[in-house]
Amino acid sequence: MSAEPDQPPAVATRLTIATRDLGARTVGADEIITFPLGLAGFGQCRRYVLLAYPQPAPLLCLQSVDREQVAFVVTDPAKVVADYQPRAINGAMSALKITDPQDLLVLVILTIPPGHPEQTTANLQGPLVINTHLRRGKQLILEDSRYSLKHRLSV
Amino acid sequence: MLILTRKIGESLIIGDQIRITVLEVRGRQVRLGVQAPGDVVVLREELVQRLAEENLAAAAFRYQDVEEIISSWKPKTVNER
């Protein structure tokens, strides 16, 4: 793994990105979150931004900056299950150099079967762990049998 | 691929800090022990494949379904937790 700086990248610029469903969006370059290893199955997409949907919602859009068509619907795991405490989060915090717990952001990806939103599931086995200060993240793969790849939501 | 043969109880050492030991063989199953530093991720291969497949399925959502979820999401009240 190449040495990553421990300071957040110094940026003041804004850029306009094309999104999958939300048109063109202008974001600060300091909003870009880098996943050095990408997400499983999407290794070439390393840079993402978190976008709000037009309507107020407990969901966010994780939009790839590298590929317009790649985006994920994500949410706070606390909205899905009480007390989400995978053991592996601690190791991920040190790997991502998170020293202040307030810099830790954990998100889970929702799978919405096309045409069947009532069957939406949350991926509790592959959470996204993000250092919001350094704007760096990784997707964990949990060997923890408490948490399912397809956790049914009660929407 | 490097191919080596081990008997039960024998080990492989990978790099400086990883040891894999054959603990038991029972029928078609091999039980392995892995000693590695805490920051080394050790996973059953099929988990990585399954995660990639789930991410691919998740990326195939229809935006109109997201809109429907948002419009019908009922916020949890304290009592419902």
* Nearest residue in B to A126, CA atom: B51
- Higher pLDDT among residues A36 and B39, named by residue: A36
Structure-token match 């497949």, residue found: B53
Kindly report which listed range (A33-42, A146-155, B1-10) carries the lowest average pLDDT score.
A146-155
Chain-chain contact of B59 with A70 (C-beta, under 8 angstroms) = yes
pLDDT of A3 above 90: no
Q: Measured between beta carbons, which residues in chain B are less than 8 angstroms from residue A96?
A: none
User: Which tens digit of pLDDT belongs to each residue from B9-51?
Assistant: 999 999 999 999 999 999 999 999 999 987 788 888 899 999 9
> Can you give the pLDDT at residue A146?
87
Residue B5: inside a domain, yes or no?
no
In the predicted structure, residue B76 carries a pLDDT above the cut 80: no
Residue B80 lies in a domain: no
Interchain contact, A149 vs B51, CB within 8 Å:
yes
Supply the pTM of this predicted model.
0.85
Q: Write the DSSP assignment of chain A as a string of letters.
A: -PPPPSSPP----EEEEE-SSS-EEEEEGGG-EE-TT-BTTBTT--EEEEEE-SS--S-EEEEESS-TT-EEEEE-GGGTSSS---THHHHHHHHTT--SGGGEEEEEEEE--TT-GGG-EEEEEEEEEEETTTTEEEE-----TTS-SSEEP--
Of the candidate ranges A34-48, A68-82, A135-149, the one whose mean pLDDT is the lowest: A135-149
Chain A to chain B Cβ contacts (< 8 Å):
99
Complex ipTM: 0.90
Examine residue B21 and state whether it is found in any structural domain, yes or no.
yes
Let me know if residue B52 belongs to a domain.
Answer: yes
Does some domain include residue B6?
A: no
The mean pLDDT of chain A is: 91
In a domain, B37, yes or no: yes
Give me the domain span that covers residue B19. 11-72
Look at residue B80 in the predicted model and tell me its pLDDT.
Answer: 47
The pLDDT of residue B39: 76
Helix, strand or coil for residue B74? coil
- Residue B1 forms part of a structural domain: no
The number of domains in chain B is: 1
Cβ contact B66–A73 (<8 Å): yes
Instruction: Say if residue A4's pLDDT is above 70.
Output: no
Q: Is residue B61 part of a domain?
A: yes
pLDDT of residue A12: 67
pLDDT tens by residue, A99-130:
999 999 999 999 999 999 999 999 999 999 99
